[in-house]
Amino acid sequence: MEPAKPPVDIREGISVIFTEEQIRARVQELGEQITRDYAGGNLVLLCILKGSCLFMADLARAIALPLRMEFMGVSSYGEDTKTSGVVQITQDVSTPLADLDVLIVEDIVDTGLTLSYLQEQIHTRRPASVRVCSLLHKPARKVREIHIDYLGFTIEDRFVVGYGLDWSQKLRNLPFIGEVTDPSKPR
Ligand code: IMP
């Protein structure tokens, strides 16, 4: 057997932007607001994979209503940390969305290209209503206007990681949201 490698601290070289406590408090507020707004409705939370998985898991537990959960996989082609607006659905929902109150749960609205494409797609499925809940919004990079009904935090034009958001598919498991300040550190 190979000798054990020294453990890697994935938090090294990352500065915290929103702590676990700040995220927990904001998600709780959003959950309470959604609970009030959707009482008596037919709510389905639509998680946009992969970035929204942690947010959705916590948000669902902060909503005190009967609800469904659906998952949609999307990939946007572009260079490295930029989206191109060419979006491909890599995994579709498992139940029809017709007559349901769809709440799209996103990790971040950056240019808005992914979400504007997704909204068009979802409208063709004839849901009763469609709203957007996004953990983060980076208005500085807006290309398409997106109305965000439930927003966690607004951020500056920085590339953020953690709490579901990745950096080359890693760092999603950080419990906080941060910025990579030292890209040379092993992850
Ligand atoms: P948009 O189409 O430009 O709005 O970008 C949508 C997707 O790009 C998001 O759902 C994220 O997956 C990814 N993205 C945009 N900004 C960031 C970031 O700062 N960190 C990690 N992923 C990001």
Question: Looking at this protein, which amino acid is placed at residue 160?
Answer: V
CB of 44 closer than 6 angstroms to any ligand 1 atom: no
Domain membership flag for residue 107: yes
| Domain membership of residue 90 as a residue range | 21-160
For residue 126, give the CATH number of its domain: 3.40.50.2020
Residue 185 falls within a domain, yes or no?
A: no
As for how many domains the chain has, the answer is 1
Evaluate whether residue 175 is within a structural domain: no
pLDDT of residue 45 exceeding 70: yes
* Ligand 1 contacts CB of residue 83 (under 6 A): yes
Q: What is the pLDDT of residues 17-28, one digit of tens each?
A: 999 999 999 999
Active site residue 80: no
Considering the domain boundaries, does residue 103 fall inside one? yes
Residue 119 lies in a domain: yes
Give tens-digit pLDDT for 71-119: 999 987 655 556 666 788 999 999 999 999 999 999 999 999 999 999 9
Given the residues 9, 99, 107, 110, the one annotated as active site:
110
- 77 C-beta closer than 6 A to ligand 1: no
Q: Which residues, 6+ apart, have CB-to-CB distance to 182 below 8 Å?
A: 12, 13, 14
Whether 120 is in a domain gets the answer yes
Q: Determine the atom of ligand 1 nearest the C-alpha atom of 146.
A: 4
* pTM exceeds 0.85: yes
135: nearest Cα among 172, 107, 167: 107
